[in-house]
Chain A
């Protein structure tokens, strides 16, 4: 059974700082990695997906994928209090068991 390991469990950064999250797949047969963000009391919202080695930048958010090590990271620069939320990574696996597997999440707190 595929698993997605996410770290750290929680993170606190000052306003304007850099927040970084990590995620590793247990299975090499992933197609995409996704990053979702969930504010308290809401459903998760997709931030971005990545499937090629290297960096993908969207505004203040940068994802980095290393397929050889099955590792993806997300970096938020110039963090804002509104970025305080639960961040999930997820991986899409193909083949006969097509599915999306979520990590356990990282709780980010951005202190003003």
Chain B
């Protein structure tokens, strides 16, 4: 088995601030994903990466940057936090691509004041 670790667990930011979320997996999976979860809207893909140093935009990439410097880690940056924004950011990994089971971390809960 393996595990996905996300840090921090909670993140409180100020409007306009640049915020970075981190994700580590020890499954040795090739593909990693960042999703945003808003109440009543399901999960929406922000970025994914099929291998080290690869980046692919999802449907919600505007306002975000991502970085995959190692196979085991994938970070997400909110480039300018929006006032009153509240969401959960979920990191996931899979052996290869979208046809494989995705394993999720526990999430980072973001609140922007």
Contact = CB atoms under 8 A, between A and B. Distances in A.
B98 A100 contact: yes
Q: How large is the interface on A (under 10, 10 to 19, 20 to 34, 35 or more residues)?
A: 20 to 34
Give the interface SS of chain B, mostly helix, strand, loop or mixed: loop
A98 interface: yes
Contacts, number: 48
Nearest to B4: A43
Interface in B68-82: none
A100 B102 contact: yes
B96 to A, nearest CB: 11
Contacts of A99: 45, 58, 98
B42 A42 contact: no
Interface string A8-35: 0000000000000000000000011010
Interface in A67-97: 88, 90, 92-94
Contacts of A45: 103-104
> Top 8 A-B pairs ranked by shortest CB distance?
A43-B104, A102-B42, A102-B43, A104-B42, A100-B98, A46-B101, A44-B104, A92-B98
Interface of B: 4, 40-45, 58-59, 90, 92, 97-99, 101-107
Interface of A: 1, 4, 6, 31-32, 34, 41-46, 49, 88, 90, 92-94, 98-100, 102-105
9 contacts: A43-B92, A43-B105, A43-B107, A88-B42, A92-B99, A94-B99, A99-B98, A100-B98, A103-B42
